[in-house]
Structure 1
Amino acid sequence: MIYDSIIIGGGQAGLASGYYLTKYGLNYLILEANTQATGSWSYYYDSLKLFSPARLSSLPGMRMKNDKRGYPTKKDVISYLNTYTKRFKLPILTNQRVYEVSRNQKGFSIETSDGKSYKAKTIINATGSFHNPYLPQMNGMNTFRGNYLHSSSYQKPDQYIGQRVIVVGSGNSAVQIAMELSEVSNTTLAVRKSVQLVKQKILGIDLHYWVKAIGFDKFPFWRFGKAVPIPSSTVDLAGYKEKLEVGNPNQKKMFERFYSDGVVWSEGNQEPVDTVIFATGYRSDFGYLKTIEKFDVEGRPLQKAGISQNTPGLYYVGLEGQRSFSSATLRGGGSDSKFVIKHIKQNL
C-alpha cells in the first residue's frame, strides 16, 4: 500500500499534522518510535510547567482544559495528547523507529528498526530536535569523578539532597531546575551571561497574550527571508527574581574545565562538586534522511516554512523558528501543520 503521506514522529507536531491530513481526506500513517504518542513530554523533568497558559496551548480541534492553575504541568500535557489521539482516532503505529528514508519511483520508502517497510507519496518529518540532547564536551570531563548529565535526564530533586550542584545555562529549563534544586541542595547557575528575566504577566495579563495581540507570535519572518529571533530572556515564574537576588541559587560565570573532584572557575579556583546538570538545549539529528536531504553546517535541514528546498515531497513540522516565533510549541503546531498539509494537498 502506498500512503498519501507518512508522518515520522507522534509528538505534538505529528498529531496536529494528523488532524489536518484527516480533515483533507488524505490516507496516512503516523510512525512513533516510543510506546505512546506524547513526543518528548514523557522524558522531561517531573515539575515542568508550560510557560504559556492552557488557553493558548492547544492543538487544532480540541482545546486544552483550562483549570484554575492556568499553566499546564507535564502530566497535564501528556494526558491531553493521549486524549487528543483517541478523540480523533489518529492512525498511529508505536515502537516504529525510522532508521532510513529513501526515494523510489512513486515517492518514498521508509524502513524501521524492526525490519518493517512503508511506502508513501510524501513524508512529514515531525520529530523536531528535542530527542537529541546537546551535551558539550569540556576539558577534564573524562577525569571528573562526580556525576554529570543533560537536563533531559533530570527528573526530580530527591537524589540531589544535600549535594553541591551546578546547573549550566540561563534559559527557562536551567532556571526552573536550579530553583527546584536550591530548596534541597547548594546550587549554582553557571552562565555565560546573567539570567535575564521577563515578567510572566503585564497589567495582570500573561505575556503570551500580549505577544499574540501584537502579532509577534505568528509573524511570518520566513516570507521576508529572515530568521525568527529567539529571545534569550527567561520567564519570571513565582519568586524567581527574589531568589536570584538573595543568591539561592547564585550565579557564576561559566567554569573553565573539570578536574577530578569538581570544576575550575574562570578565576582559577577549584571547587568540589557532586553533580553538574547541563541545560544546554538540543541539536538537530535527521540521520535517517541523509540519503535524500541536504543540511546546513549545523545539521539543520534546508527547508522554507516546512517545505524541503531540495527534496520534493519532503516536509517538516515542529522545527524551532520554522515559520514563526511559536513554531515548535503546542500553540504553534497547528498553524504550521495546516500550512504544510495544504501544500501537500495541492501538489499530490
Structure 2
Amino acid sequence: MVVAAATTPAHRAVEPSITLLPMANVTVLGAGAAGLAVAAQLKANGVESVVLERGPEVATSWRGRYDRLRLHTVRRLSGLPGFPIPHEYGRWVRRDDLVRYLEAYAERFALDVRTGTTVETVKPGGERWSLRLADGSEQTTRTLIVATGYLHTPVVPQWPGLPSWTGTLIHSSAYRNAEPFKGKKVLVVGPGNSGAEIATDLAEGGAASVSLAVRTPPHIVRRTTAGWPAQMNGLLLSGLPEPVFNSMAATMARMEVPDLRRYGMERPTEGLKTRLRTQRYVPLQDVGIVRDVIAGRVRPVAAVESFTETEVRLADGSALSPDVVVAATGYGTGLPTLFDDPALFDDTGVPLVHGGPPARPGLYFIGYHVTLGGMLRELAIESRRVARAVSATR
C-alpha cells in the first residue's frame, strides 16, 4: 500500500512565529474560524487572549481542503461576529476567499495569534492549566478555550488486508484536485459531502473511472430550490419534533431528488434528524453527484470490506481493482490524546460540555456542535456565548 502525502496548496508564505509565550490569563487553542471568533469576542468584552496555532498561518485546516470547495452555507449567514464576509466573494464562498476572510478577520481585530505553536498535552494544575508544547517547554494559563474543531484528525478504517494492498491510498484531507488521477481508476469511500464532491471532481477531471463506495445511503438535498438555500430549511424546520422533521425531510427528498436506486444508490431508512442527533450527520448537498450518477460518470458500489494485494472486496461479494482509493471516511477530534481525562469526552472524542458553559473550571470547548443551520453560523453564536461566560469570571 502506498499512502500519498497531502499536497500543500499555493498561498502566501508566512514564517511561523517563534515568539515565546508569556504566562497568559486566557489562551485559545486553534486559529480557525472558532478560535478567531471567540478571541475577537473576548476582546470586545475587554478580555485579551493569546491564540495558539500549530500551523504556519491562520485557517490551517481550510487551506488544506480540496481546490473546488465552496461553503455549503450562504455568505450572509457564514460571517463571524463584527465583520461580515465581503459581498464580492459571492453567495457560495470559495475556499481561498474564506481563507482571505479569516486572515483579514485576525488583522481587523488585531488578534494575538502565535503560529507554529503545537500543544501536545494539557493538564490541570491548581488554578491554572498547564500546556506542554512540542518544543518541550511548558506554559500555563488561567482560562483555556479549545477551538481545534471536530474535523481535526483524519481517520482511515483499518480494513483487513489493507497493508498488503499495492495501490495508492489517500485520505480525503490529502486530495486537492483531479490532476494526479487522470487516466486512473479511482474508488472514493464514503458518500458524505467531501466524498461526493471529490467523486464529481474526479469524473470531471479525467479519471478513467470513478466508483463511490456506500455503506449507509446518504440523505441528499438540493443546495437551492428556486433560489431558496437548503440551509434555510434546516434553520426554519430544526425545531420540529424528530418524527415530523424526518417525515418532512423524506417527502422533500422524494420531490426534489431523482430516485437513484436503479443506479445503485438506495434511499436512507433512518430519518435525517435522527441521524443528526445520534451521529452528528448532515445531509449531502448535491453539487453534481446526482447528475454524475445518472450519467454513469460515478458508479455507486457496496461498502468496502477488505483488501488483497490487487483488489478491494466489497460487502456484496464483488471486487474492484482501482489504482487509487480516496478514503472520505471522516475525522476525529484528537482531543482524547491532548487531555488525560476521558471523562471530558464521549466515545467519539467530542466534549460532553461545549459551546458555552465550562467543562471544568477555566476550561471551555467551542466548535463541536453540528447543526443543520451551518457550522460557521453556529460558531458565531457560540463565540458570543463563550466570551460572555469567560468575561463573567474576570
Conserved in 2, the CA contact under 8 Å of 1:99 and 1:288?
Answer: yes
Structure 1: gaps (5+ residues): 218-225
TM-score by length of 2: 0.79
**Does 1:190 find its partner at 2:213?**
yes
Secondary structure of 2:392's partner? helix
CA distance in 1 between counterparts of 2:187 and 2:141 reads 47
Task: Map Cα deviations across residues 173-199 of structure 1 (whole Å, 9 max, x no partner).
Answer: 110000010121100100013443211
TM-score scaled by structure 1? 0.89
Question: Given that residues 3 and 28 in structure 1 are in contact (C-alpha distance below 8 angstroms), is that contact kept between their aligned partners in structure 2?
Answer: yes
Q: Is the 8 A contact 1:169 1:278 kept in 2?
A: yes
CA distance in 2, matches of 1:99, 1:269: 43
Deviation at 1:126, TM superposition (A): 0.4
Question: Is 1:67 matched up with 2:88?
Answer: yes
Task: Give 2:168's aligned residue.
Answer: 147
Q: Secondary structure at the match of 1:256?
A: strand
SS at structure 2 position matched to 1:177: helix
Would the aligned equivalents of 1:101 and 1:291 in 2 still touch at CA under 8 Å?
A: no
Contact 1:143 1:259 in 2 (8 A): yes
Contact 1:31/1:97 (8 A) holds in 2: yes
Question: Which residue, out of 61, 74, 79, partners 1:58?
Answer: 79
1:71-108, Cα deviation, whole Å (9 max, x unpaired): 11110111111111111100111111011222233322
Deviation sequence 1:167-221 (CA, Å, 0-9, x none): 011111110000010121100100013443211112322122333345659xxxx
Partner in structure 1 of residue 379 of structure 2 = 333
Aligned-partner SS, 2:378: helix
2:390 pairs with one of 333, 336, 344: 344
Report the AA paired with residue 204 of structure 1. Answer: G
2:165 and 2:314 map into 1 onto residues whose CA distance is 15
Aligned residues: 335
Q: Which residue of 2 aligns with 1:274?
A: 323
Bigger Cα displacement from structure 2, 47-56 vs 283-292: 283-292
Deviates more, 1:65-74 or 1:4-13: 65-74
1:126-171 alpha-carbon deviations (Å, 9 max, x no partner): 0012220111110110110000111001111111001110001111
Out of 102, 109, 122, the residue aligned to residue 81 of structure 1 is 102
Q: Deviations over 1:22-80 (max 9, x none)?
A: 01111210011110011410111111111112111111111112237421111011111
Distance across 2 between alignment mates of 1:141 and 1:292: 30
Q: Secondary structure at the match of 1:156?
A: coil
Corresponding position of 1:295: 345
Counterpart contact for 2:235–2:373, Cα < 8 Å: no
CA spacing shift, 1:294–1:332, aligned 2, 3 Å: closer
CA RMSD of aligned residues (A): 2.3
Give yes or no for the alignment of 1:33 onto 2:54: yes
Q: Does 1:254 align with 2:303?
A: yes
Change (3 A) 1:36 1:262: same
Partners of 2:89 and 2:95 lie apart in 1 by 16
